[in-house]
């Protein structure tokens, strides 16, 4: 269930994979780097978390869409700022 390296920056593919992880109870720690900062997204059984790695506690969201539409740490809105992603990897 890995994100294909060729398409890893495709926002719709990432959302699809996160939703699959939620549905299947898989909890990979998906990390993204934006503006030089590293953030972690963890799909849990009934929610999804987001945190600035090593700097903040997790903040929980009810769905992938809520996460991607919300204003996050450092003013990031994933739907708006996805083009700024510098790297994606699993922790």
Per-residue tokens: 27: 């909890």
Average pLDDT over residues 78-83: 95
| Assigned token pair, 65 | 């869409």
Residue pair 50/59 in contact by the 8 Å Cβ criterion: yes
Residue 84 to residues 20, 39, 58: CA-CA distances in angstroms?
24, 13, 22
> How far is residue 4's CA from residue 61's CA, in Å, rounded to a whole number?
25
Rounded to the nearest integer, the mean pLDDT of the chain is 91
pLDDT per position as a tens digit, 24-52: 999 999 999 999 999 999 999 889 999 99
């Amino acid at each position: 269930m890995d994100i294909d390296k060729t398409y890893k920056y495709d926002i719709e593919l990432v959302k699809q994979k996160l939703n699959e992880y939620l549905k299947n109870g898989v909890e990979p720690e998906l990390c993204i780097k934006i503006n030089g900062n590293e953030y972690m997204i963890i799909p849990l059984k009934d929610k999804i978390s987001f945190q600035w790695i090593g700097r903040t506690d997790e903040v929980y969201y009810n769905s992938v869409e809520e996460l991607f539409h919300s204003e996050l740490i450092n003013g990031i809105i994933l739907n708006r700022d996805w083009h700024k992603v510098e790297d994606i990897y699993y922790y």
